[in-house]
């Protein structure tokens, strides 16, 4: 009986220690978000800050992975023209939602953007990732050290950034965003939804500016 009691006691203590350890090591996700933010059928609550005029009649929702070379192509070939003709003129705005599925460094890179967002530099960090992307997936260009180096180059507070990145504060946010992509039928990156006043249209892949222009002009 005493032996059984001792074993039971050890089990109970082990469970309590395990629970305490798991609670203390869980990333603390104490960030404030507008959880009601949606664009069309898509919940963008956990996505990026809005780029451009929040009151613009059209919203481009981009699902992307920082290691995807087609996202890199779109960022360099199509996005500049969209910025010039639609976002900077107030006709459209853009929200980036992470669909981090390509490699082990993809979710970490996405988390890093929100750590930069904590210091008000989401889009600067986003741009530095797509400007620094290397052609090989998981080659180390987006590992923790490099992500911290990008933050250093943007003059971020490194103590805050490192703490945020190392604690994986935003890991669940990335999971939520990737689930949004799956729930909305996105089957690869980049994937887009053009959400207008009356309807929304889906675009798959790094399509040229002419396609976005045609769809957005028909919505305005």
Q: Is 82 near other proteins (CB under 8 A)? A: no
| Euclidean distance between CA atoms 113 and 67, whole angstroms | 13
* C-alpha–C-alpha distance, residues 29 and 176, integer Å: 13
Nearest approach, Cβ of 205 to other proteins (angstroms)? Answer: 5
Q: How far is the CB of 2 from other proteins (least distance, A)?
A: 47
Q: Which of 11, 76, 80, 90 binds other proteins (CB under 8 A)?
A: 76
- Residue span 154-193 as binding mask against other proteins, x where in contact by CB under 8 A, dash where not: ---------------------------------xxxx---
Q: What angle is formed at CA 22 by the lines to CA 20 and CA 24, rounded to 5 degrees? A: 65
Contact 132, 69 (CB under 8 A): no
207's tokens: 């399509």
Please tell me whether residue 198 binds other proteins under the rule CB under 8 A: no
| 211 belongs to the binding site for other proteins (CB under 8 A) | yes
Window 8-47: contact mask with other proteins (x via CB under 8 A): ----------------------------------------
Q: How far apart, in Å, are the Cα atoms of 177 and each of 44, 86, 97, 202?
A: 8, 25, 6, 17
Among 58, 103, 150, 174, contact with other proteins (rule: CB under 8 A): 103
Compute the distance between CA of residue 179 and CA of residue 188 in angstroms, rounded to an integer.
13
């Amino acid at each position: 009986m005493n032996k059984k009691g001792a074993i039971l006691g050890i089990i109970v203590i082990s469970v309590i220690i395990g629970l305490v350890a798991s609670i203390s090591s869980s990333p603390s996700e104490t960030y404030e978000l507008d959880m009601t933010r949606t664009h069309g059928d898509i919940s963008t609550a956990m996505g990026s800050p809005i780029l451009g005029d929040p009151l613009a009649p059209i919203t481009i929702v981009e699902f992307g992975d920082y290691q995807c070379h087609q996202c890199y192509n779109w960022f360099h070939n199509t996005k500049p023209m969209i910025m010039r003709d639609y976002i900077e003129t107030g006709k459209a705005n853009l929200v980036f939602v992470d669909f981090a599925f390509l490699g082990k460094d993809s979710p970490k890179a996405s988390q890093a953007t929100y750590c930069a967002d904590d210091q008000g530099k989401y889009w600067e960090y986003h741009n530095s990732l797509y400007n620094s992307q290397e052609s090989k997936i998981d080659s180390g260009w987006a590992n923790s050290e490099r992500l911290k180096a990008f933050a250093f180059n943007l003059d971020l507070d490194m103590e805050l950034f490192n703490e945020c990145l190392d604690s994986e504060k935003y890991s669940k946010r990335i999971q939520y965003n990737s689930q949004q992509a799956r729930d909305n039928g996105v089957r690869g990156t980049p994937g887009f939804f053009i959400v207008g006043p009356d309807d929304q249209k889906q675009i798959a892949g790094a399509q040229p500016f002419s396609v976005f222009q045609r769809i957005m002009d028909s919505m305005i």
